[in-house]
A and B are shown apart, each in its own frame.
Chain A
Amino acid sequence: MSRPAWAGRQRQAVVVGIHALPFSKNIGMTERHGGGLAILGALQDAGLSVADVDGMYRFVWEGTTEMEMARILGIENLRMFGEVDYGGGAGCPAVSHAALAIENGLADVVVVWRSRNRSSGGRPWVSQLQATGQDQFERPYGLVRPVDGMALHTRYWMHKYGWGPEVLGRVAITQRELARRNPAAVMQKPMTMDDYLGARMIADPLRLFDCCLETDGALAMVLTSAERTADLEVTPVYVTGFAMGSGPQCYGMTFYYDEVLGVTPAKYVAPELWKNTGLQPEDMDVVQFYDAFTPQIPVSFEEYGFCGEGEAPAYMLEGKNPPYNTSGGGLSEAYVHGFNLLLEGVRQVRGSSTTQAKDVQHSLVTSGNVVPTGAIVFSKEPW
């Protein structure tokens, strides 16, 4: 394989450990407890120990800081640490930061995790009555749920591109079927188009099954350098490249006050990603697109360049797309700010998915496309 266009990296980062606690409606422990166990599980999966860890990255929205987690686990010294903001946009960027630290020799074994009691802990939007900043022009109107912001985008996309509700329904049904092949997925009940169309509206035109789950989950990933894997028994999953992007006039969830309507930050991530990896959409054997809501799937196929603008429904209906969200994703496996998508992207390269794509060389994972976001390509071979 050719070296990516983005040069300057001294060594390649690899994923060597992943772990998820069972997804549930009530995990029965604190987020720091679940996060700690997930990290230990991922280290065990890698054949590494706490003593090896010298870097840590998290979501800003993670309730446990790196300092606290390092203290709990007994990590001697974090040489690199940090956090990435913007909710579901943070997953791939946090892993990218970990890879950057490794590539530049600033850390050798870096942990990234997400632990969130989003079910048993309640809805984060219910208690925020004093609206500052961006929120003061939104929350007084009851625009408080992520689905409300997404509904305004979706109405526009449906109008502009002529999507019927079935375009979204097929995404929900596809992912439900994938979840049913995955024993770890929360949702195991079959879904028909009648089930989809007959479900109640939450924020028109988005129905119940357009929305992701509300899950308690704790997941972690361990990265190290390719050279460090010589004495490990794991099969390394190579980080070929990644990119981040905000686009202009970006607001979390509601980027529609200025600039062109309907374009998400992912549109700005995509060209950087393909430049940085030296790859193209057609090189991706499987994809995990961030899916807090169904419309993010067709929009992601378009904005990442798998098909042209407005072409996604036909492209997907004709089956031209690579397999997507093969664990069931946020819609039907679990919603943990997309960290389950990252684990599934790694599993696809390892060959251990419950819906394994064929001959996976490259596996794409993206983070939330309506907030500042990022994407990452995992590969079977080094660059």
Chain B
Amino acid sequence: MSDPGLDFATSFPVPMPDADTQPFWDGCERGELLIQRCGYCKKWLWQPRPICSGCQTPDPVWTRVSGAGFVASWTVLRPPSLPAFAQKLPYVLLLVELDEGVRLIGFLVDDAGGWLQTDGEAEGIHMGTRMSLRFYDQAGTILPSWTVAS
């Protein structure tokens, strides 16, 4: 039961945005990381939602952030994975805690935003490593990713 229009052997999973998440992906296309912040209580919110879960005020405000943060956790993905990722393994999957306090998933990439086939050792990835935002183009999907801060 593969998805229509996607070749299982070669396709990466793709985001299917709806009205609550489309602004995030539009921001990525422009090279901007947008996170919602409540206009009333100022709470930062992730993942996207139509109502502030801190004070229940509707329509949190999409707000551009620098993407600076640190490694809150990380893993190295190894086989088996989806066929499309087979040639990219191993790679580092990061849980980055932004300075705003919310945590996002991302790839570990090089300073130019290029792919890193690595277990993270050469890059010195450890809990707490400071990270800088990059965007990685995965077959046309622009994904927030991180490189070790210089």
Shortest C-beta distance, A201 to chain B (Å), equals 5
Residues of chain A contacted by B88 (CB below 8 angstroms) = 142
Shortest beta-carbon distance, A167 to chain B, in Å? 17
CB-based contact A204/B13 at 8 Å: no
Q: Note all chain A residues with C-beta closer than 8 A to B105.
A: 137-138, 141, 143, 254
A256 lies within 8 A of chain B by Cβ: yes
Q: Are A141 and B14 in contact (CB under 8 A)?
A: no
Contact at B15–A131, with CB atoms within 8 Å?
Answer: yes
CB-nearest residue of chain A relative to B145? A141
Evaluate contact between A148 and B93: CB separation under 8 angstroms: yes
Residue A202 contacts which of B78, B95, B106 (CB distance < 8 angstroms)? B78
Contact yes or no, A257 B106, CB < 8 A: no
**Which residues of B sit under 8 angstroms from A156, Cβ to Cβ?**
72-73, 127
Residue of A nearest to B107 (CB): A141
B117 sits at the interface (CB 8 A): no
Report chain B residues within 8 Å CB of A128: 3, 13
Partner of B76, one of A131, A153, A203: A203
Asked whether B104 lies within 8 Å of A148 as measured between CB atoms, the reply is no
In this assembly, does A318 line the interface, its C-beta being within 8 Å of a C-beta of chain B? no
Report the count of interface residues on B (CB-CB < 8 A): 44
Contact present for A155 and B127 (CB under 8 Å): yes
In A53-72, the 8 Å CB interface with B consists of none
Q: How many angstroms between the C-alpha atoms of A140 and B127 in the bound complex? A: 23
User: With A and B bound together, what is the CA distance between A306 and B91 in angstroms?
Assistant: 37
CA distance A202 to B79 in the complex (A): 6
Assess the A142–B15 pair: CB atoms within 8 A: no
CA distance A152 to B95 in the complex (A): 7
Per the bound structure, the CA–CA distance linking A220 and B82 in Å amounts to 33
Contacts of A10 in B (CB 8 A): none
Interface residues of A in 121-173 (CB under 8 A from B): 123, 125-132, 134-145, 148, 151-153, 155-156, 159
Q: Kindly list chain B residues whose C-beta atoms are within 8 Å of the C-beta of A251.
A: 47
Chain A residues with CB under 8 A of B66: none
In the bound complex, residues from chain B placing their C-beta under 8 Å from that of A249 are 53
Given A126-B82, A156-B72, A203-B78, the answer on whether A140 and B104 have CB atoms closer than 8 Å is no
Are B14 and A129 neighbours in the complex by a CB distance under 8 Å?
yes
Q: Does A200 contact B (CB under 8 A)?
A: yes
Knowing A201-B76, A256-B95 are in contact, say whether A141-B143 is a contact too (CB < 8 A).
yes
A249–B43 alpha-carbon span in the complex (Å): 14
Question: Across the interface, do A204 and B81 meet the contact criterion of CB distance under 8 Å?
Answer: no
Which of B13, B82, B85: most chain A CB closer than 10 A? B13
Q: Is B57 interfacial (CB-CB < 8 Å)?
A: no
Q: Are B75 and A152 in contact (CB under 8 A)?
A: yes
Convert A294-323 into 0s and 1s, putting 1 for each residue whose CB lies closer than 8 angstroms to a CB of B.
000000000000000000000000000000
Taking the complex as formed, is B51 at the interface, i.e. its CB lies under 8 A from any CB of chain A?
no
Q: Does B12 contact A (CB under 8 A)?
A: yes
Determine whether B141 belongs to the interface, using a CB cutoff of 8 Å to chain A.
yes
Q: Which of A128, A200, A204: most chain B Cβ within 10 A? A: A204
Q: Taking A137-B47, A258-B102 as contacts, is the C-beta distance between A155 and B81 under 8 angstroms?
A: no
Contact A261 B72, beta carbon cutoff 8 Å: yes
Report the bound CA distance from A283 to B103 in whole Å.
39
Which residues 25-66 of B have a CB within 8 angstroms of A? Answer: 45-47, 53
Instruction: Report A126 CB to chain B, min CB distance, Å.
Output: 6
Q: Is the CB of A129 within 8 A of B6?
A: yes
On chain A, the residues within 8 Å of B68 by CB distance are none
Residue pairs across A and B with Cβ atoms less than 8 A apart, 17 shown, are A123-B80, A126-B8, A127-B3, A128-B3, A129-B14, A130-B13, A131-B14, A137-B104, A140-B12, A140-B13, A141-B93, A152-B95, A159-B127, A204-B76, A204-B78, A249-B53, A261-B103
Supply 4 further A-B pairs (C-beta < 8 A) apart from A129-B11, A257-B104.
A129-B8, A140-B143, A204-B76, A258-B103
In the A-B complex, the 5 residue pairs with the smallest Cβ-Cβ separation, listed nearest first, are A136-B15, A151-B75, A139-B13, A204-B76, A152-B73
